[in-house]
Amino acid sequence: MSVHLSTDELSDALTEGPNAQDTTPGESRVGIEKHLRDCSQCAQTWRALVEVRTRLAAEPTPSMPADVAHRLDAALAAETRQRARVGRRPPSPYQGKPTLGPFGADLPRRSRPTLVLSGLAAGAVAAMVGVAASLLSASSRLNEPPAVAPALVSSSQLGTQAEALRRAADLSAHRFSPSWRCARQVTTGKITALTAAVVDGRPALLVYTEADETQSSVKQGPDTTSTHTQRVTVVTGCGDNRPVAGAATVLPR
């Protein structure tokens, strides 16, 4: 039985890269490369890690909203005033003992950008933990759409039946799962949900997607309009990694 590489091992190898410092013995790197050539499951996990890293690197760095920064400043100022009022109370038996003083006076001053970066770093760590959990679940096939009692669908009533199924069930996109990666090869737009189904007597996936589509109007001449479209597509062949997009239709609103 083949022993698969863990997500941590693959992530470390991806982080080090071919030009990293020699923290991993050369034999181990060669072994990982050979394992990826021979093991399709670990190779799929590797490709998913590369895709996630690329997507995270492309995301723009968010900035702190002005109203949030204003509320933080107001809260700090209110706390400082409160502690100043405590310091002006009548003498007590504890007079002369050290007091807390103004809020944060004994702490090093940190600029707002530093606070923002600290928050962003914490958010990035949380996001990476969530992504790692999704990848681990996907590599173990725990994130696959359930195939028990799949819905029976007719291609002639695809739109109506698919929309009714989506409203009745809590469907998920099952991101990074083999089915999700298979469906992405033959569909366009963002995948919002996946579910197993039997369409016209044949096992398939119902792939729900959404996208902004641009349409031109004859009456308006060269002017175009953009509409938000939700679509469902029947995808077969994912079992042997040969996906084919079949019947597709726009979902009724």
pLDDT at 1: 43
For 76, residues 6+ apart whose C-beta sits below 8 A from its C-beta are: 103, 104
Selected residue with higher pLDDT from 89 and 162: 162
CA 67 from chain centre, in angstroms, equals 27
CA dist 161 and 52 (Å) reads 33
Q: How confident is the model at residue 244 (pLDDT cuts 50, 70, 90)?
A: very high
pLDDT > 70 fraction of the chain, expressed in percent and rounded: 64
pLDDT tens digits for 46-86?
888 888 777 777 767 666 677 777 888 888 888 888 877 76
Q: Which residues of 65-74 are buried (b: 16+ CB within 10 A; e: fewer)?
A: eeeeeeeeee
* Whether this model's pTM surpasses 0.85: no
Residue 95 CA: distances (Å) to CA of 6, 82, 83, 89, 169 = 62, 19, 16, 10, 67
Q: Helix, strand, coil: what percent of the chain each, to 5? A: 45, 20, 35
pLDDT tens digits for 103-142?
555 555 555 555 555 565 556 555 555 555 555 555 545 6
pLDDT tens digits for 21-30?
444 444 467 7
Q: How confident is the model at residue 93 (pLDDT cuts 50, 70, 90)?
A: low
Domain ranges of the chain: 151-250
Least confident of 44-53, 127-136, 142-151, 188-197: 127-136
Q: Once rounded to an integer, what is the mean pLDDT over residues 218-247?
A: 81
CA dist 195 and 179 (Å) reads 9
